[in-house]
Amino acid sequence: MTIASYPDWCELLRVPIDANAAADYVRAGQDGAIVTFDGFVRNESHGRPTLYLEYEAYESMALVKMREICAQIHERYAIHCVAMLHRLGHLEIGETSVFIAVSAPHRAAAFDACRFAIDTLKRTAPIWKKEFFEDGAVWADGELPPAPPPAKPAS
Amino acid sequence: MPHVLPNLRVKVLFFGRIRELTGITEEWLEMPEGTTLSELFEHYAKRFPALAGFRPSLVASRNQEFAAWDTPLSSGDDIAFLPPVSGG
């Protein structure tokens, strides 16, 4: 099934994310559903109160990965358009760090695609989060993206 | 006279905890032709011994794509060593 789509919107921002703008961007007359994911800064980490977070990214590669995710969900699900925005720099408690909006003619595809998009972004986009506490700061435990197998067989 | 291989020049980027450890955000480096990602990492592990222990928890990238450690470098490549990612 092919659905006409206009360009997806992938961006890394150092200003607050405008969630309404992202949802409006993906909305069109042919759609019947938009599913959004709003990831925001929690006030604690493993029981320790968090003061704030800092995000950094390998920006050019993160954008490549985000565009790949968009291409993948267009291939897998009958969706129309995607907005995928990630914030970098200093974020206060409660501020949105990542926002994804997916539009589709029908809700099931939009739910599935949005879930796939955030799960894959967290596993593969080269973005890092540092958590600041009263008594210090740590890089958040992350996931190691899968590396390609060696080109030459091990001898 | 020994045969000297020409050098290649790559841009190397560090992020997160290993950026802090090395104090390097990015730099250009010359290495002999034929150098692999793994050998490039070894170069840095010699310069920064504390880096060696991070090797099992890093993936390498070449020109914005994840790459196997035995990948040979080409001149002009963007190389990065990436700690476990924690975006979202």
For chain B, domains (ranges, CATH) are: 17-82 (3.10.20.30)
Q: Is B87 on the interface with A (CB under 8 A)?
A: yes
Q: For the stretch A60-85, what's the b/e string if a residue is b when 16 or more beta carbons lie within 10 angstroms of its beta carbon?
A: ebbbbbbeebbeebbeebbbbbbbbb
What gap in Å lies between CA A84 and CA A22, rounded to an integer? 8
Residues of B in contact with A61 (CB under 8 A): 61, 64-65, 80
Percentage of residues of chain A with pLDDT beyond 70? 94
What gap in Å lies between CA A38 and CA A28, rounded to an integer? 21
Confidence band, pLDDT 50/70/90 cuts, at residue B2: low
End-to-end Cα distance, chain A: 46
Asked whether A28 and A2 are in contact (CB, 8 A), the reply is no
Structural domains for chain A: 9-133 (3.90.1170.40)
Q: What is the largest CA-CA distance in chain A?
A: 58
Residues of A in contact with B64 (CB under 8 A): 58, 60-61, 64
- Host H or E run for residue A69: helix A59-76
Q: Quick check: A122 and B87 CB within 8 A?
A: yes
* Predicted local confidence at residue B3, as pLDDT: 65
* Predicted local confidence at residue A107, as pLDDT: 98
Per-residue pLDDT at B82 exceeds 50: yes
Per-residue pLDDT at A70 exceeds 70: yes
Per-residue pLDDT tens for A79-103?
999 999 999 999 999 999 999 999 9
Per-residue pLDDT tens for B23-42?
999 999 999 999 999 999 99
Q: Which pair of tokens denotes residue B69?
A: 């450690």
Here the ipTM equals 0.93
pTM: 0.93
Which of A122, A123, A126 is facing B15, going by the closest CB pair?
A: A126
* Predicted local confidence at residue B49, as pLDDT: 97
| Cβ neighbours of residue A15 closer than 8 Å, sequence gap 6 or more | A87
Residues of B in contact with A145 (CB under 8 A): 59, 66, 82, 85
Residue-by-residue DSSP string for B29-56 = EEEETT-BHHHHHHHHHHHSGGGGGGGG
Please give the radius of gyration of chain B, using alpha carbons only, rounded to the nearest integer: 13
